[in-house]
Each structure stands twice: as C-alpha cells, then as structure tokens.
Chain A
Amino acid sequence: AQRVTQPEKLLSVFKGAPVELKCNYSYSGSPELFWYVQYSRQRLQLLLRHISRESIKGFTADLNKGETSFHLKKPFAQEEDSAMYYCALNYGGATNKLIFGTGTLLAVQP
C-alpha cells in the first residue's frame, strides 16, 4: 500500500541555516510527489511538484527513486519560512488522489 513518511514533527533552525525536511514514500507505481505548505492562518497551498523540478521561494526537492525519498531543501532559512510542511503522493493518477505525510513544523528562529 502507498505510504508517505515524514519522520520529524518539528524542525527548529536559526535564520540563515540550511534546512532539510525529510520525506520518504512507499508506492508500487511511478510516484508523483508534492510538497504543500500551510502558513499560519492560511490555507494549504502547493509549494513544489517533483515533475516541474523548479525552485520556489528558494526551496528545491529532488526525487530519489533508489532511496524512495523526496526531501525538501533550502540553503538559507528565513523567518517567513516558518510553517507546516506536508509531503504528498498522488496515487490516483489523473484523479489526483493524494496521500499525505503527517507534516513537519518548521520553526525558524531569529
């Protein structure tokens, strides 16, 4: 069965430090992975799709099929990056049925 694991509930870093939010998945098909972010008092929104291979707000994520991972990285954290981050796997193909990890709260200290 498909599964998404985010091992850290909380990641606390200082401003300017590198950030890596971990995500591992289990899926028998070809994975389609996303990172969603929820800032305080805002709705959940898309941050990255692995297919697009782009950098958003300085964040990047690379799909590693060998390690079944899709870690989110940023070289220099900013205070405004503080939010809840969810890794998600689309297991429904075109129907976009998502399975989410439990989320990691990123707290960037000044």
Chain B
Amino acid sequence: NAGVTQTPKFQVLKTGQSMTLQCAQDMNHEYMSWYRQDPGMGLRLIHYSVGAGITDQGEVPNGYNVSRSTTEDFPLRLLSAAPSQTSVYFCASSYSSTEAFFGQGTRLTVV
C-alpha cells in the first residue's frame, strides 16, 4: 500500500516553462488537494477535488490548473512557471473530514 505518491521529488524549471506535478493515491479516497509550503508560512491550499470530475480553487490558485479524471490521480499543472512559484508542493488525500494523508512533497525551483 503506497498511500500518496508524488513525482518528481525535485524539479528545476526556467521561467515560462510549464510542467505537471503528479499525484496518485491508492486508498480510494474521495478528497484530494494540493498545498504549497513556503518558508515561514504554513501550508496553503492551492486546489482541491471532492471526486472525479470535480475540482475547485483553494486559497492560492493563480498560475495553477488541476483536473481529476480518475479517483486515483490529481495532477497539478503549472502553466507558465514564475520564480514566485518556487516552493515545496504537497499532495494530500482523505476520506471525508478525517485524517489527511500526505505525499512526500515535490521541491520546485523556478529560475
């Protein structure tokens, strides 16, 4: 049972490039979400999903897109990377308002 798996673990992008951060869970959880963590700040919610085909914005959605075509996968797309998007990104999944299970994080640097 892998839980929540994020790929890649590390990534360096040039300004303006696009990329997709992958997130997969094998627990059949309905709810999935993406957070970013910046120095001196708590995790902030970017986007979330309550099930396949349903997504919505969190606190800091600008510059990111998501889709949820299956229960298992919830990719996060950076459309045109900016240095302000340098951060550690965490994917999480949960079943209703219970424990959230987190991935190991993706450390993204935009130069």
A contact residues vs B (CB 8 Å cutoff): 4, 6, 32, 36, 43-46, 49, 86, 88, 90, 92-103
Given A32-B97, A46-B99, do A95 and B31 touch, yes or no (CB 8 Å)?
yes
Among B45, B59, B96, B102, point to the contact of A44 (Cβ < 8 A): B102
Do B97 and A44 touch across chains, with their CB atoms under 8 A apart?
Answer: no
User: How distant is the Cα of A45 from the Cα of B92 in the complex, in angstroms?
Assistant: 10
The smallest C-beta distance from A87 to any residue of chain B, in angstroms, reads: 9
Given A90-B97, A95-B48, do A102 and B41 touch, yes or no (CB 8 Å)?
yes
Do B102 and A45 touch across chains, with their CB atoms under 8 A apart?
Answer: yes
B contact residues vs A (CB 8 Å cutoff): 31, 33, 35, 40-45, 48, 50, 58-59, 90, 92, 94, 96-105
Do A102 and B96 touch across chains, with their CB atoms under 8 A apart?
Answer: no
Among A46, A90, A95, A102, point to the contact of B42 (Cβ < 8 A): A102
Residues of B within 8 A of A6 (CB): 42
Among A46, A96, A100, point to the contact of B31 (Cβ < 8 A): A96
Do B100 and A43 touch across chains, with their CB atoms under 8 A apart?
Answer: no
User: How distant is the Cα of A91 from the Cα of B45 in the complex, in angstroms?
Assistant: 11
Most buried by B among A36, A45, A99: A99
Can you give 5 contacting A-B residue pairs, CB < 8 Å? A6-B42, A49-B99, A86-B42, A94-B96, A96-B98
Residues of B within 8 A of A90 (CB): 97
Do A43 and B104 touch across chains, with their CB atoms under 8 A apart?
Answer: yes
Do A99 and B45 touch across chains, with their CB atoms under 8 A apart?
Answer: yes
Do B96 and A99 touch across chains, with their CB atoms under 8 A apart?
Answer: no
User: How distant is the Cα of A93 from the Cα of B48 in the complex, in angstroms?
Assistant: 13
Given A45-B102, A49-B99, do A96 and B94 touch, yes or no (CB 8 Å)?
yes
Among A4, A86, A97, point to the contact of B45 (Cβ < 8 A): A97
